[in-house]
Chain A
Amino acid sequence: MSAIAIERPQEGAASGRTAVKPVRFGRVLLSETTKFRTIRSTWICLSLGLVLLGLFGSIGAFTYDGGGAAVTDGPPGIAGRPLDAVSLALMGLSFASLVVGVFGVLSTAGEYSTGTIRSTLAAVPKRLPVLWAKAILAGAAVFVVAAVGAFAAFLIGSVGLDGEAIALSLKDDGVLRALLGAALYLALVAVFGVALGALLRSPAGGIAALVSILLILPGLAMLLPDSWYDTLNPYFPSNAGGAAYALTETSDRLSPGAGIAVFAGWVALTLAAAAFRLKKTDV
C-alpha cells in the first residue's frame, strides 16, 4: 500500500487525478440536456411537432372557403368548435400533441426499455432529480417549439385569410392568449408523457395510456348518462387543456385559466405517482 499512496491520496481526500464534484440539480439538468440532445428521437419528435403545427395550420387557412361554420369532424378539442382564425391555425394541434406526448414518454420509458435507467440512477441515486430534470426540459423544449409553430401557423395563415370575415390579427382579443395557451398545453402534454413513461416504465404502455387519456377518453365518456357527461366532460384532461387555446369561451367549457389549471393538476398528479414509483421501487 505504501508505494501507491502517492498516486492514490488517503481516504476521505478528493482524488488527485480526476476532479469529481457532488451531484447537484444543475448538474443533473445539464446531464439530462445532453441525453436529450444525443438521441435522434428528440429531433424527430420536435421537428415533426413543429411541422405538424405549422403546416396543418397554414393549410387550414389557405383552403378556408368561408362556407362551413364549424369544424365538423376531427379530434376532440377541435370538433364542433366555431371556426375562427385561431382554431384554423391550430388544426395540427391534436397530431402535434401526440408527437410531443410520445417524445415525453420516450424520454423516461426509453430509459427502462434500453437499460439506461441503471446507469442513470447509479449516477444520481437520489433518483427524483432525474424525473424533475426530464419534466422541466421536455416541457421547456416543447413550449418553445410549439410557440414557434403556433405563431408561424397563425401568421402564415393570416396571409391566406386576408380579406375573409374571420381574419384576425395578433392584436385582437384573446389571440395571443390562445396561441400561448396552445404552446403551454403542448408543453404540459410533454410533461404528461414524461410522467406516464416513468410511471408505466414501458414505451408501448406509456404511449397507449397517453393516447387513451387524451383522445379516447373524451369520446368514451359520451357513453355516460347525459347529466354526468355534462358535469364531468369539461374536466377531462384534453378538454380542460383545450379551453386554454380556444379563442372564445363557451358555457360547456372551463375558462382558459381554469382549464389549463385543471390540466396541470392532472399532469401534476401523474407526475407525483411517477415520482412515488421511482423513489419506492426497484429498477
Chain B
Amino acid sequence: MPSRPGGDGGTAMIEARELTKRYGDKTVVDRLSFTVKPGEVTGFLGPNGAGKSTTMRMVLGLDAPTAGSVTVNGKAYDRHAAPMHEIGALLEAKSVHPGRSAVGHLTALAQTHGISRKRVDEVIDLAGLHSVANKRVGAFSLGMGQRLGIAAALLGDPEVVMLDEPVNGLDPEGVLWIRNLLAQLAAEGRAVLLSSHLMSETAQIADHLVIIGRGRLLADTTVEAFVRETGTGAVRVAADEAARLRELLAGPDVTVSGSTDTELLVTGLGAREIGRVALRHGVALHELTPLGASLEAAFMDLTTDELEYRSAPADGRSAR
C-alpha cells in the first residue's frame, strides 16, 4: 500500500477526493474530500440528510459516484481481492433477511472470504449475541440488529471499520460497549469512521471530526481544535455585586452578558482569571462555573445554514 505524503506518518485508510453524487439535479454529496487515518476514530457528522449514508455507500461501491473518487487502503473497494479484510461496515441496521439466524447470516458472509466458523462464533460472542445466535433475525430488537451488524463488520478482521449511526437503538450499556470497542479498534491501529448526527455523543468517542452539511465539507478538524475554536468556553459567574464585577472584567476580548442582577455569562476570560479579579477587588462570588463549549450548540451554529430538513420555529415565524 502506498504511503501518502503529508498524511502525518500514517497511511490514509479512506480517502475521498472531490466525491460527488447527484440524483437528477439534486446534489447529495458535493465535491467532498476527506481522509480517515489509522489509529484514530473519525467522527462523520452532519444533520439528517447531509449525505453521510450516501458517502458511506460510495466507499463500499454500492453507489457509484457521479464524479470524484474514494479509495480504501489505496484502491477502489471493488478492486480488493478480499474486501471484507480491508474494511468492515455497518450500514443501515438489519440489512439481513429476517428469516435467517444470526449464525446463518454471518456464516454466509464468512464463506465468501473463506473465513472459518470459529471466527463467526468469535464475533457473535464479541457482540454479545451468543444467546440469540440461532434465533430468527426478524425477532431481534433494534439494538440486537445493530450488534449483529457490528459483528458482521468485524468478521473479516478489517483494517478500517466504518459504522453508520451505530448507537442508534442501543441501550446505555450498548452505547458504552460501542465506545470501548471503537477505542480499542483504534488503539489496535485500525481506522474507524463513525457517522452520527449527535455532536456531544461523537465528541466522547472521536479524535477527529469531518463535519458535512448538504453534502459539502464544513469542517475537517480534531475534536480539541473544534472545541477550542468554536466553543468559546463561557464561564457562569454569580455574585451579589454583579454590576460592579461586570465593569471590572471589561476588556477588549471579553464579552459579558447577564440575564439577572446577580448572574453573568463571561466569555473571553477563564474561570481562573475571573476568580483572581474578583479576589483582588473583594467581590464575593457564589458561583464560578466554566461551561465548556456547548458542542451541540457549536455544531448547530455550524450546520444551521445547511439543514436539509428544518423545523419551523414554534412561534410560526419564518426561519429566515
Contact = CB atoms under 8 A, between A and B. Distances in A.
* A and B are interacting partners: yes
Which are the 10 A-B pairs with shortest beta-carbon distances?
Answer: A21-B114, A38-B104, A125-B78, A22-B81, A18-B157, A115-B95, A31-B111, A20-B85, A282-B63, A34-B108
B190 A8 contact: yes
B244 interface: no
A15 B111 CA distance: 17
A114 interface: yes
Contacts of B1: 11-12
B115 A18 contact: yes
A8 to B, nearest CB: 5
Contact of A123 (B73, B84, B92, B190): B84
B99 A20 contact: no
Interface of B: 1, 10-11, 38-39, 57, 60-64, 73, 77-78, 80-85, 89, 91-92, 94-101, 104-105, 107-109, 111-116, 119, 152, 156-157, 159, 187-190
Given A12-B1, A20-B85, A119 B95 contact: yes
A116 B112 contact: no
Given A4-B188, A115-B92, A123-B83, A15 B113 contact: no
Interface of A: 1, 4-5, 7-8, 11-12, 14-15, 17-23, 27-28, 30-32, 34-35, 37-41, 110-111, 114-119, 121-126, 282-283
Given A5-B189, A27-B113, A114 B64 contact: no
Given A21-B114, A125-B61, A39 B99 contact: yes
Contacts of A40: 99
B187 A4 contact: yes
Contacts of A116: 95-97
A116 to B, nearest CB: 5
Given A4-B187, A11-B1, A118-B62, A124 B112 contact: yes
B90 to A, nearest CB: 10
A115 B112 CA distance: 18
A114 B97 contact: yes
Given A115-B94, A122-B89, A125-B77, A20 B114 contact: yes
